[in-house]
């Protein structure tokens, strides 16, 4: 690659009908100046490209990190949902089991109450039957003691004296 210095120092041979030396010199100076400007711009652009590529690389790394973080967050959310569902299922199963146990306890209590009521009815029925028999006997005794015959016997007893019995 040719440098600006080489352009400035370039010498051309002289010929009879050649170009105006001053014009060629001015053109070469202008060309060298433009070349230097372009070279400087090119170097600046190369530096900018390197800087931008480094920055782009940094952003790519950030993007990768963010993507990984997002994937991790999604996996964590899925795990949390799965764990929550699993825990909810366990709680539901435990609640169902407890309800079933309570229902069985209530059924047992109802069975025992029915048995108790049946036994109590049988006892009460026996007691009522005894009461009715006793009531019937009391009525029989009442009829006997309040009967006309007993009144007559009592009246006769009153008339009987002990003296009469001793004689």
Q: What is the 3-state secondary structure (H, E, C) of 60-79?
A: HHHHHHHHHHHHHHHHHHHH
Percentage of residues of the chain with pLDDT beyond 70: 96
Average pLDDT of the chain, as a whole number:
89
Write the CA distances from 121 to 106, 127, 130, integer angstroms.
Answer: 22, 10, 14
- Nearest alpha carbon to residue 28 among 54, 2, 63: 2
Kindly tell me if the per-residue pLDDT of 165 is higher than 60. Answer: no
Q: 103-145 pLDDT, tens per residue?
A: 999 999 999 999 999 999 999 999 999 999 999 999 888 887 7
For 144: left if phi > 0, alpha if psi spans -120 to 50, otherwise beta; the answer is alpha
In sequence order, what are the residues at sequence separation of 6 or more whose Cβ sits closer than 8 angstroms to the Cβ of residue 33? 4
Write the CA distances from 3 to 6, 8, 156, integer angstroms.
Answer: 5, 9, 175
pLDDT value at residue 162: 64
């Amino acid at each position: 690659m040719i440098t600006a210095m080489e352009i400035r120092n370039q010498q051309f041979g002289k010929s009879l009908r050649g170009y105006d030396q001053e014009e060629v010199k001015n053109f070469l100076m202008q060309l060298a100046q433009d070349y230097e400007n372009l070279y400087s711009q090119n170097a600046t652009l190369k530096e900018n490209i390197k800087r931008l590529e480094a920055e782009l690389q940094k952003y790519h790394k950030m993007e990768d990190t963010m993507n990984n973080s997002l994937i991790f967050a999604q996996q964590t959310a899925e795990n949390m949902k799965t764990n929550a569902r699993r825990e909810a299922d366990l709680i539901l199963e435990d609640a169902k089991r407890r309800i079933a146990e309570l229902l069985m306890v209530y059924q047992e209590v109802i069975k025992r109450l029915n048995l108790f009521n049946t036994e109590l009815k049988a006892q009460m029925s026996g007691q009522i039957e005894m009461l009715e028999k006793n009531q019937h006997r009391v009525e029989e005794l009442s009829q006997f003691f309040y009967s006309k015959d007993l009144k007559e016997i009592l009246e006769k007893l009153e008339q009987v004296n002990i003296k009469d019995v001793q004689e």
